[in-house]
Amino acid sequence: MSSLPLAIGILPDDAEVFDLDQAADHLHVSPNRVRTLIRDHNLLAASRNGQPVIPALFFGEEGHLAKHFEGLVSVLLDGGYTRDQAMEWFFTVYDDLGMHPAQALHTHSAREVIRRAQAQAF
């Protein structure tokens, strides 16, 4: 597990998470595929109690990641954010949105989150 890039101390304590097996079940892939997604920075993960976990808000309908999630991660990382900074960005509450970007992905504010990511990353 140590070869996985995991954010440490960034994920809010109250964030609902999936372990690798739960994430694999949700996506209908193997746990090894989930590890590959994390290593390739297509999925962000954190460490909780020494175990890799993925925020549940990063997932959409059964079998899918949240719409726009992978694109947002790419925009942030290509724009110079580290994976830890990207994870922190997803869970920073913006007063004018009234929520953090990970929550906003599941609302009518998703396009605003995309716009902000593009503006902040470049």
Q: What is the pTM of this model?
A: 0.90
Q: How many folded domains does the chain comprise?
A: 1
> How does pLDDT run across 19-28, given as a tens digit for each residue?
999 999 999 9
| 27 falls within a domain | yes
Is the pLDDT at 2 greater than 60? The verdict is: no
1 assigned to some structural domain: no
pLDDT at residue 1 greater than cutoff 70? no
Tally Cβ neighbours within 10 Å of residue 43. Answer: 22
**Residue span of the structural domain in which 88 resides:** 6-121
30 found inside a domain:
yes
Mean pLDDT score, 87-95 = 94
How far is C-alpha 119 from the chain's CA centre?
19
Report yes or no on 72 lying in a domain.
yes
118 with 73: CB under 8 angstroms? no
